A = this chain, B = another copy of it.
C-alpha cells in the first residue's frame, strides 16, 4: 500500500534536530548575504553584486541568481546594473546576524582560540546556535570580565 511518509510522534523528537538543521541551512545563505551587504554599505557606502561575489568566493552569476530570490523574499531591493539595498526586514536580519556573530566570536576568543580560527568558526557556528546557547555564551563573557 502507498507508504505515506510516517510522521509518528515517537521518533519525531529524534529527528527534530536534523529538521532544524535543514531549516537553518536554507536561511543561512540569506543571512550571509544580508550581513555581507550591510557590511559593504557601512564600509563603502554601497554594495555591488561583484563585491558580494568576491567576498563570498562565488561567481557573479551565482550572486545575481541568489539576489533574485532574496528580493522575492523581501530582504533586498535592486535594479539592474545598480547597487543593492536592504529592506527593513533585510536590515533586521543583518543586525541579528551581526549580533550573533559578535557574541560567538568574542566567546571563542575568550575560550582561548586564535583570532583567525575564531573568525572562521564563528561564521559557521552563528547559524546553528540557539538563543539559549547565546545567552550562556554572553553569561560566560560577562563572568570573565569580572
Q: Name A residues whose Cβ lies closer than 8 Å to a Cβ of B.
A: 3, 5-6, 8, 11-12, 14-21, 24-25, 32, 54-57, 59-60, 108, 111-114, 117, 119-121, 123-125, 127-130, 132-133, 136-137, 139-140
Contacts and interface: CB of A to CB of B under 8 A. Distances in A.
B130 A117 contact: yes
Copies in the complex: 2
Contacts of A125: 125, 128-129
Contact of A111 (B114, B128, B137): B137
Residue of A57, A114, A120, A128 with most chain B CB atoms under a 10 A cut-off = A57
B18 A56 contact: yes
Contacts of A120: 16-17, 20, 130
A113 B128 contact: no
Interface SS of A by simple majority: helix
A78 to B, nearest CB: 19
Contact of A136 (B5, B12, B112, B129): B112
Contact of A5 (B16, B17, B59): B59
Contacts of A55: 11-12, 14-15, 18
Contact of A57 (B19, B123, B140): B19
Nearest to A5: B59
